[in-house]
């Protein structure tokens, strides 16, 4: 029963990590077109979740843990909009450094990893149920 429990705990950690990753991606996408309010302010900066493998002595296995958020230090998207309140002297407005294409690719990867962990949970539960059926019979 310990192996089933360990498998479920590891898969649950993966589900939690990918859920957190999808939340950050959704936040990035929601703020992709939000400019700063003035030329002196920075717009939203893309966030990137970090993960680490942590050894759990009780499980005798590694499990994934969500780490801190890292701010993407790439350049902001500059658009020529001279009438915008956040335009600088040259008429350019800084927009977030969020690429919808990259975020959607990351979302697809997170979704596939989430589904893989969900399949581990389903398989472990099925195998545990079959083992109980054999032991009963």
Does some domain include residue 50?
Answer: yes
Domains contained in the chain, number? 1
Does some domain include residue 88?
Answer: no
Q: Could you write out the three-class secondary structure of the chain?
A: CHHHHHHHHHHHHHHHHHHHHHHHHHHHHHCCCCCCCCCCCCCCCCEEEEEEEEEECCCCEEEEEEEEEEECCCCCEEEECCCCCCCCCCCEEEECCCCHHHHHHHHHHHHHHHHHHHHHHHHHHHHHHHHHHHHHC
Q: What is the mean pLDDT of residues 8-35?
A: 96
Does some domain include residue 85?
Answer: no
Domain that holds residue 114: 2-32+45-72+98-136
Does some domain include residue 89?
Answer: no
The pLDDT tens digits for 43-98 are: 999 999 999 999 999 888 999 999 999 999 999 999 999 999 999 999 999 999 99
Does some domain include residue 84?
Answer: no
Q: What is the pTM of this model?
A: 0.85
Q: Between 4 and 33, where is the model more confident?
A: 33
Does some domain include residue 6?
Answer: yes
pLDDT exceeds 90 at position 5: no
pLDDT exceeds 60 at position 24: yes
């Amino acid at each position: 029963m310990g192996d089933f429990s360990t498998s479920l705990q590891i898969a649950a950690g993966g589900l939690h990590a990918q859920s957190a990753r999808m939340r950050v991606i959704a936040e990035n996408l929601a703020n992709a077109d939000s400019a700063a309010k003035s030329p002196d302010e920075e717009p939203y900066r893309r966030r990137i979740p970090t993960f680490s493998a942590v050894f759990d002595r009780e499980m005798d296995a590694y499990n994934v843990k969500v780490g801190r958020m890292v701010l993407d230090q790439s350049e902001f998207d500059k658009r020529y909009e001279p009438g915008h309140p956040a335009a600088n002297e040259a008429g350019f407005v800084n927009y977030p450094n969020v690429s919808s294409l990259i975020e959607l690719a990351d979302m697809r990867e997170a979704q596939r990893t989430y589904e893989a962990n969900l399949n581990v949970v389903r398989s472990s539960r099925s195998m545990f149920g079959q083992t109980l059926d054999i032991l009963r019979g």
